[in-house]
Amino acid sequence: MKKNHTVKKRDELCKRFTTTGTCYKGPTCQFVHDPSKVAMCKDFLQTGQCAAGSSCDLSHEPSPHRSPTCMHFLRGRCANPECRYAHVRVTPGAPVCRAFATLGYCEKGDACEEKHVHECPDYANTGTCHKKRCQLPHVDRAGQIRKAAAAAASKADLGEDDSDPSSEEENYDAIDSDDIDSDAFDDTPEEIIEGVDSGEMSQQQDFIRF
């Protein structure tokens, strides 16, 4: 006789379900499947329309929790009264929100003090990424490069050596992956990224251009 195994649930959003709206594990997944906490549909975000309509597994409800930060708004130049991007003020040098970058959803919403953009938080915040198969965009910015160069020069003046990259990668993977089955899947970013080679401004296709 087949035994019924009770799945011990963890109070943590399922990465696959949150980013894609589906999870093949179904009720056997130990992570939370909350349909009200899924990423924005990229088609609806960009055009205001989606061929799947109400059958779409992703969200058609823009909010600070799931909409990328409006870069035009941060510059005081958003002229779109129906803008679907989040009009939330964060400091220009704010780091990239890890939850939003990896899930397409942030529990803090407009209370989050970090930028909600679809790009690698490690590369954006530190200038390096040790994930071998990272599929999030690695965006270069002049200000970031200057800061990294200044930090490297300061270390050189003090005679400090960088730590072993291989050990850093092992530590990173150990921290970032509590559950291999849930974390290690390749299709997550493809559901929420508007374009790997695109920058902040080109992702916002519903704007009046300046």
Tokens of 121: 């938080």
Q: Which helix (H) or strand (E) holds 47?
A: helix 42-47
Nearest Cα to 204, choosing from 91, 61, 86, 106? Answer: 86
Task: Give per-residue pLDDT as tens, 26-57.
Answer: 999 999 999 999 999 999 999 999 999 999 99
CA distance 165 to 122: 14
- Dist CA 150 CA 141 (whole Å): 14
* 110 close to 88: Cβ distance less than 8 angstroms: yes
What pLDDT shows up at residue 115? Answer: 92
Instruction: Look up the pTM and report it.
Output: 0.66
Residue 86 contacts residue 67 (beta carbons within 8 Å): yes
Helix (H, G, I), strand (E, B) or coil at 118: coil
For residue 13, the cross-strand partners are 32
Cα torsion 86, 88, 94, 100: sign: negative
Express each pLDDT in 137-162 by its tens digit: 999 888 777 877 887 788 887 776 55
